[in-house]
Amino acid sequence: MNDKKQRRSAAWYGKRDTDGFIHRSWMKNQGFPDHAFDGRPVIGVCNTWSELTPCNSGLRDLAECVKRGVWEAGGFPVEFPVTSLGETQMRPTAMLFRNLLAMDVEESVRAYGIDAVVLLGGCDKTTPGQLMGAASVDLPALVVSAGPMLNGKWRGKDIGSGTDVWKFSEAVRAGEMSPAEFFAAESAMSRSRGVCMTMGTASTMASLSEAMGLAMPDNGALPAVDARRAAMAHRAGNRIVKMAEEGLVMSRVLTRESFENAVIVNAAIGGSTNAVVHLLALAGRVGVNFALDDFNLGADVPLLVNCMPSGEYLMEDFCYAGGMSAVLAELGHLLRPAKTILGGDISDYADGAECHNRDVIRPFDAPLKPAAGIRVLRGSLAPRGAVIKPSAATDSLLEHQGPAFVFENIEDLHAKIDNPDLPVTKDTVLVLKGCGPKGYPGMPEVGNMPIPRRLLADGVRDVVRVSDARMSGTAFGTVVLHVAPEAHDGGALALVETGDEVRLSVKEGALDLLVDDAELARRRERWSPPAPRHERGYASLYIDRVLQADKGADLDFLAGKDTRTPERESH
Judge if 246 and 391 occupy the same domain: no
- Model confidence at 532, in pLDDT bands (50, 70, 90)? confident
Summarize pLDDT for 8-35 with one digit per residue, the tens.
Answer: 999 999 999 999 999 999 999 999 999 9
Q: What pLDDT, on the 0 to 100 scale, is given for residue 519?
A: 98
Ranking 5-9, 107-111, 289-293 by mean pLDDT, the lowest is 5-9
Residue 238 has, within 13 A of its CA and on its CB side, a CA count of: 9
Specify if 567 maps to a domain.
no
Q: How far is 469 from 244, CA to CA, in rounded Å?
A: 40
DSSP letters spanning 324-360: HHHHHHHTTTTPPP-B-TTSSBGGGGGTT---S-TTT
Helix (H, G, I), strand (E, B) or coil at 47: strand
Q: What pLDDT, on the 0 to 100 scale, is given for residue 2?
A: 41
Mean pLDDT confidence for 290-309: 97
Helix (H, G, I), strand (E, B) or coil at 125: coil
Per-residue exposure over 365-379, b if at least 16 CB sit within 10 Å of its own CB, e if not = eebbbebbbbbbbbb
The pairing of beta strand 42-47 with beta strand 116-121: parallel
Specify if 383 maps to a domain.
yes
Helix, strand, coil percentages in the chain from 3-state DSSP, rounded to 5: 40, 15, 45
Judge if 342 and 213 occupy the same domain: yes
Mean pLDDT confidence for 526-548: 91
Helix (H, G, I), strand (E, B) or coil at 414: helix
Number of structural domains, the chain? 2
Domain that includes residue 442, residue range:
375-531
CATH for 261: 3.40.50.2300
Specify if 419 maps to a domain.
yes
CATH for 520: 3.50.30.80
- Which stretches of 289-423 are DSSP H helices? 315-321, 323-330, 410-416
Total residue length of the chain: 571
Summarize pLDDT for 67-79 with one digit per residue, the tens.
Answer: 999 999 999 999 9
Judge if 130 and 202 occupy the same domain: yes
Judge if 337 and 393 occupy the same domain: no
Q: How far is 118 from 236, CA to CA, in rounded Å?
A: 8
Question: For 370, which DSSP code?
Answer: S
Residues 6+ apart with CB under 8 A from 143: 118, 119, 121, 127, 130, 131, 206, 209, 214, 215, 219
Helix (H, G, I), strand (E, B) or coil at 320: helix
**R_g over Cα of the chain:** 24
- Model confidence at 1, in pLDDT bands (50, 70, 90)? very low
Judge if 223 and 343 occupy the same domain: yes
Number of H helices, E strands in the chain: 18, 14
